[in-house]
Structures are given as structure tokens and as C-alpha cells.
Amino acid sequence: MASCQHVVWTCGRTGPRVFDAVILTAVASAIDIPDLIDAGPVSLRPLTRDDRPRVHRWLNDPAVMPFWSGLDRPLSEPESIEWVERFLREGVSLRCLVIETPERPVGFIELSRQPGDRNYGHLAEIDICIGEPSEWERGYGSAALSALLRWLFTDAGIQRAFLQPRVSNKRALHVYEKVGFRREGVLRRADYTDGEYNDAVMMAALRDEWLTEFGDA
């Protein structure tokens, strides 16, 4: 695995600030994710193997499952190991960022991009899960997404970030619109959860539009 500088990325009016430290091996080097993204009330960091037990608990929580894989698809221990390992392999285009408050991790963001692809390298697909139901409605998801979008658009060369929530997930739709995603259309029967096909909403944030609206926030 390639070595890279340990960096901290903080967002604000003056843009990103990178602080040099020791040279170390970082699992995020394949797609150049910082070791820490400051998101105000929360921070984002790359997933590690130590996170597997909490991910297993989050994705088997009956309150969380309907918004992720569905109640009919619990995550076994071996599946949770593979779930984590797929993000840690070298050269993959899929990464996971853990959302942390000062007290504890509360969720994660999946990030998929193709940094070396001339046709699709400008795109990033996002999915987010707040795995601690007691931490819902506290603004942590909004803060994490806003900081991630700022980093993607100002430091990672991304032009379009998108996600595909279910039409029925009204709370998620509200959060995504709040942080700058715009509805582009409906993907009919794009989601299959709990034995049913569901429509999804294609939502995207474009670099120039987002920076015009949120660049000084």
C-alpha cells in the first residue's frame, strides 16, 4: 500500500488548510481521502477494521435496517468482515468515511468514485447512514455531507456528486436538499427492499452551482 502524508482538512471561508505531519501508510491513499475532514460538530475519517463491530451493530439495528438494506437482510458476522474489507483493498474506487462526534462514532458515508477514469473521474456517488438512532435529528448528517461536498468540490476535482434515496424517505430527501442536492428525476423501481420494488430519486450537486450557493458558508 502506498505511503502518503498524514493530513487534516478543515473547511471554512478561506478554503482547505492542510497540515503536514509524519509520513505514514493510509488506507485512503487510493482515492486521496484526508485522514480527517473537519465537519464542525462531527469529523470524518477513513474506516478501519476496528470499526467492524459497530458497523455490524448499526446495520442490524431494527430502526436502521429499513433505511439501508431492509429488515429481511440482516448482516452476518462474516458479511460484516467482508463489508469492511471491501473498502480497505488497494486500488478500489469505493471508500467509507466514519462520522464521529467528540464522544463516539455515529455513522458512515460511502463514497464511490473513479479518480483515474477520463470519462467518469469527475463523478462521485454518496450514501450515508447515521447508525445510532439516538443521534438522529441532531444535524450530524447535514454537517458531514456539507463538509464532504466542500472537500470534493474544492480539493478532489469532483464536478458532480449524486445519490439515489428512496422516494419514501422524506427525512433523507429534506436533508439532501438542505445541503445542496437537487432533484433531477425519478428512477422507477430502482430499489429493492423488504421484498418490494421502490422508486428512487436521482439527486445531484454540481460544483459551480454548489460553490455559488454554499461556498462562503
Instruction: Locate the domains of the chain by residue range.
Output: 3-214
pTM of the model: 0.84
**pLDDT above 80 for 2:** no
82-89 long-range CB contacts below 8 Å, 24 or more apart? 83/52, 83/55, 83/59, 84/47, 84/49, 84/51, 84/52, 84/55, 85/49, 87/27, 87/47, 88/27, 88/47, 88/48, 88/49
- The pLDDT of residue 118 is 80
Model confidence at 6: pLDDT above 60 = no
Instruction: Give 88-146 pLDDT, tens digit per residue.
Output: 987 678 899 999 999 999 999 999 987 677 888 899 999 999 999 999 999 999 999 99
Residue pair 56/84 in contact by the 8 Å Cβ criterion: no
pLDDT band of residue 180 (cuts 50, 70, 90) is very high
pLDDT digits (tens, 9 = 90+) for 39-69: 999 999 999 999 999 999 999 999 999 999 8
* CB 122 within 8 Å of CB 160: yes
CA distances in angstroms from 143 to 3, 8, 53, 176, listed in the order given: 29, 17, 24, 11
Instruction: Provide CATH code, domain 3-214.
Output: 3.40.630.30
Per-residue pLDDT reduced to its tens digit, 72-94: 889 999 999 999 999 998 767 88
pLDDT for the residue 115: 67
- Model confidence at 5, pLDDT cuts 50, 70, 90, reads very low
Per the prediction, the chain carries an average pLDDT of 86
Percent of the chain with pLDDT over 90: 71
> How far out from the chain centre does Cα 29 lie?
16
pLDDT at 18 over 70: no
